[in-house]
Each structure stands twice: as C-alpha cells, then as structure tokens.
Structure 1
Amino acid sequence: MSDFLSDPMSLFGVKGKVAIVTGASGAFGALAAKVLAGAGAKVIAVAGSKGPLDEVVAECRGLGAEAEGVNRRPDSEAECDAIVAEAVRHYGRVDILVVASGKNDVAKITEMAPERFLDVMDANVTQSWLMARAAGKRMLEQGEGGKVVLMSSARGKLGHPAGYSAYCASKSAVDGLTRALGCEWGEAGITVNAIAPTVFRSPLTAWMFEDTERAEAVRAGFLSRVPKGRLGEPADLAGPLLFLASRASDFYTGHVLYADGGYTAG
C-alpha cells in the first residue's frame, strides 16, 4: 500500500501504456497526444484530417515516443471498432482512451434547424459513447482495468445566453455518460472521468488573447467570473490529463474535473 512513498511521482507514470486519443488534430486532442507521448505512453492518434494528424504523430515521435496515426473518425460502431483494432495491431492492447473529438454550433434555438442540433449531439455524445464502448470492450477482455477520459466543458454545468443550446445539452450528456460508465465499470477497475475546461488558448480562441478593443471587452466580462483572473493555458489541461490517465486517479471515477480557474464555483 505504501510502495509509492519512496517515489510519489510514480503514481503519475504512464510509460509503456497504450493510449488512444481521438480528435488528435484538434487543440485538446493534439495536446493530449503530445503530453502522453512525452510521459512515455505509446500513442495511437486518431483524426479525420490527415495532414494535421501526421504533424501530431511526428511531434509525438520527436518526443521519443512510439506513435501511430489512424486517419479515421469515431462516427460509427465499425469505425470505432477499427480504431481499437489498429491500437491492438500495433501495440497489442489498450490501456488509456482520451476522447477529444467533438464540435460546437452556435445559434439561437429558434434559428437552429433540428439537424444542426442532432449533428452536435452526435459529434459530442454519440461518438463518445461509441468510442468508450469499443475501447471498454477491449479493456474488459484484458481484465486489467483501464482509463477513459472524456471531454466535457464548463457549459455542461452552466448555460450560455449566446446560442449554446446544442453544445450545453451535449456536454451535460457527456457528464451523465461519465457518471454512468464510472458506475458500470467500477468493479472492473476501469475509471471513467471527464475534463471540463472553460476558455483555453487554442487556434479557435486566439483572438480572445489579443490586445484589441473587442478582445479586451470580452475578456473583461468573462474574467469577472473567474476567481483566478485569467484565461486557461494548455499546461492547465496537461496536469489533469496525466492525473486521470494514471494510477494516481485509481479511486476517482464518474468525476467531472473542472479546469476552469474557479469559473463554475461562483
């Protein structure tokens, strides 16, 4: 029970573990793939955009990790099963799953066609469910536990006045899926948790960090609700990811970890 005391940092080790990361060409997915690679995991990076995917795989290998790219989208049972099969073909097993694929579509509910709502729900909820199902089956067969990390948002807990009915609903559903699977797989040693960030620096949010009148006005309104007094940086997601992907979180499951500088606390 006290084997970690001589080396507490070993609790966060993922060296040699096989990690699947979907949405690896996106901001959080690329970060997740590279963080896990830098920590010594064998990475299966998954994305539908081949060019950006190849760049992420090259960066992972540049960090000294074994890494392979899978140019697929987790949008069907067959595709998700194929992604897991690729991981097993390359590295023999699956230990960690990070689902970072998803999307947003902003519009007032009265101006949003039902098809657009369903598209967001499919990308954020159905694909998380399908990917967790495929990887979970393999983890259950292995009988050695596993780590599943889903991507939620502060918007899973809080509403937004600017047309986020689809996104908020989808992330609330991801939170529910996290809790349900945490309960379902608890005795099998598979932990299921979610990271729920607020605004983080990425290509999509870069304008919010600029020294422009518009950006400053938006930041001021947002930061008035953030106790830490700043927007998020990629490094603020790296720590939570390693925690949830390692044995340091073995007693944590069904949990939504808010990486939000206290935004949802007040």
Structure 2
Amino acid sequence: MNAMANPHSMFDVKDNVALITGASGAFGMVAARVLAGAGCKLVLVAGNQSALDDIAVECRQMGANVTAINTRPKDEDICNGLVAQAVAAYGRLDILVVASGMNKVALINDMTPETFQAVMDANVTQTWLLARAAAAKMKAQGYGKIVLVSSARGLLGHPAGYTAYCASKSATDGITKALGCELGASGVTVNAIAPTVFRSPLTAWMFEDTEEAIKVRNGFLARVPKGRLGEPEDLAGPLLFLASKASDFYTGHILYADGGYTAG
C-alpha cells in the first residue's frame, strides 16, 4: 500500500551499489548515466581506458561515487574479483548490469571456429561467470538485481552472418530464464533487456541521410510498428525498472526494447 501511495518510491535506487561491465559501450553508458542520475554508487568496468575515464568523469559530475576498473571480465578470477572489489569499496552489491560482449559478422562458411567461440565466450561464458559471482553475494544479502543484455536476435535469425551472435543471445535468454527460476526464492531477480537497433557509435550510419542508410533503414522500419529506430533513452526506463524494487515480482523475463519489432 505504501508503494501505491508513493509509486516513485518503487523506483528509488539511491545509495544502491551497481556493478556495470561494458560501461564504455552503448548500453553500458546508458546504464551508467541512468544509475548515476538515480543516486547509485557505481563500479564501472571496461576494457577501453580512455572511454572508461570519460564515462566515470561524467558520472562523478552527476554526483555519483564511482570506482572505475580497466579490465574485461574474461575469466572466473576476474569476475569474482570484480564483485569482491565492489563489496570492498561500498560494502554490498545490489545491482549487476552485464553490458559487456561482442559481435563478429561473417557467413557461416567464412567464419572460423575460433571466431565463433570468441563471440560465445564474450557473450555467454562471461555473462554466466559474472552472474555466478554476483549471485553468491546477493543470495547472502537476500536481495539483488541482475540485468543481462540480450538482443532481439536471441529470438529472431538474421540473414547476414549472425550465427554466432544469434546463438549467443539465445543462450543469454536461456541463462536469464534458468537463473530466474533458480534464484526466484532468494530475493534475487534475473532479467534481460533485448534491444533491436538503437542509436550508438556503431549504428550511427543508419541514422544518416545517405542512400545506403535510407535503404537499410526503410527495410528495417517496415518491420517496426513504432516506425522509428531506437534511441538510448528508450533503454533508460526498462533499465531502471529492472534495477529497482518495482520489478521485484519479475524474474526470468526478457524485456524487448524494440518498438514492437518482435511482436509482428
């Protein structure tokens, strides 16, 4: 009843401790900015030192306490260590956002097994290791929010060389559902945000008015009921929802931030 009388309180994450991997990437920066603006204490992790420094400075200017760690979550020791560093810095871990990952595009007969495995390691194994490390701490606390980053490509195929990426995001969906069930009674929720194309440094060309961009964009928009591509702001609300008490009854869920793309 208190939440209904003061609905904004459901979304209050002030002083929560959030660990964000891939913090210098498109989704990671959205998460960092949203959670900094909401009053979280942040542990930002990225492999790009310069970009990590930039987002850390930006979040500090927003008033957030920030610990920046220049690394990639490439093995068990690093993933366990990131959780340990978050707890050492702030005493607990409330939110994990796994925004790290990669994509390599090639048709199947042009893709090497090593490339396929690299995508699976970055998008699946590292996600699993991070969730595993965070879950141990969060279960002991009796509370935690794990937010993974999937994609509409976890549900849908793609004709242009996405076998590794689609497979990895389908696996991310599976981790989300299975871990949501496993941790359901512990006070820890596990959910994923699955965007389609949204504005980022990698997709900026699709928003331009070149002949190629217009052709690609129009072909894509024919499948999007909302009639536009995504903006970073379209990911902000879902992220805050899944990171806050507002989503306490939601776990094992894939939230498609796609303008209706996967509905049709």
Q: What fraction of aligned residue pairs are identical, expressed as a percent?
A: 68
Report how many residues are paired.
264
Aligned to 1:101: 100
Aligned to 2:172: 174
Aligned to 2:202: 204
> Which of residues 222, 225, 246 is equivalent to 2:223?
225
The correspondence of residues 134-153 of structure 1 with structure 2, limited to 5 A, is: 134-142=133-141, 144-153=142-151
TM-score (norm 1): 0.98
Aligned to 2:14: 15
Distance in 1 (alpha carbons) for counterparts of 2:140 and 2:71: 24
Preserved contact between residue 70 and residue 86 of structure 1 (Cα < 8 Å): no
One-letter amino acid of the structure 2 residue matched with residue 77 of structure 1:
E
The correspondence of residues 1-266 of structure 1 with structure 2, limited to 5 A, is: 2-142=1-141, 144-266=142-264
Structure 1 position 5, deviation (Å): 2.2
One-letter amino acid of the structure 2 residue matched with residue 168 of structure 1:
C
Distance in 2 (alpha carbons) for counterparts of 1:138 and 1:48: 24
SS of equivalent residue, structure 1 residue 4: helix
Distance in 1 (alpha carbons) for counterparts of 2:17 and 2:262: 33
Distance in 2 (alpha carbons) for counterparts of 1:6 and 1:187: 27
SS of equivalent residue, structure 1 residue 187: coil
Distance in 1 (alpha carbons) for counterparts of 2:163 and 2:35: 33
Q: Which stretch of structure 1 is more off in the superposition, 223-232 or 2-11?
A: 2-11
Task: In structure 1, list runs of 5 or more residues that go unmatched.
Answer: none
- Root mean square deviation, CA, Å: 0.6
Q: Find runs of 4+ consecutive structure 1 residues off by over 3 angstroms.
A: none
SS of equivalent residue, structure 2 residue 4: coil
Task: In structure 2, list runs of 5 or more residues that go unmatched.
Answer: none
Could you list the per-position Cα deviations for residues 28-73 of structure 1 after superposition, in whole angstroms to 9, with x for gaps in the alignment?
A: 1011011101000101000111111111111111111111101121
One-letter amino acid of the structure 2 residue matched with residue 41 of structure 1:
C
Distance in 2 (alpha carbons) for counterparts of 1:35 and 1:59: 12
Distance in 1 (alpha carbons) for counterparts of 2:17 and 2:60: 14
Distance in 1 (alpha carbons) for counterparts of 2:23 and 2:93: 17
TM-score (norm 2): 0.99
Distance in 2 (alpha carbons) for counterparts of 1:70 and 1:259: 28
Structure 1 position 205, deviation (Å): 0.2
Distance in 2 (alpha carbons) for counterparts of 1:5 and 1:25: 36
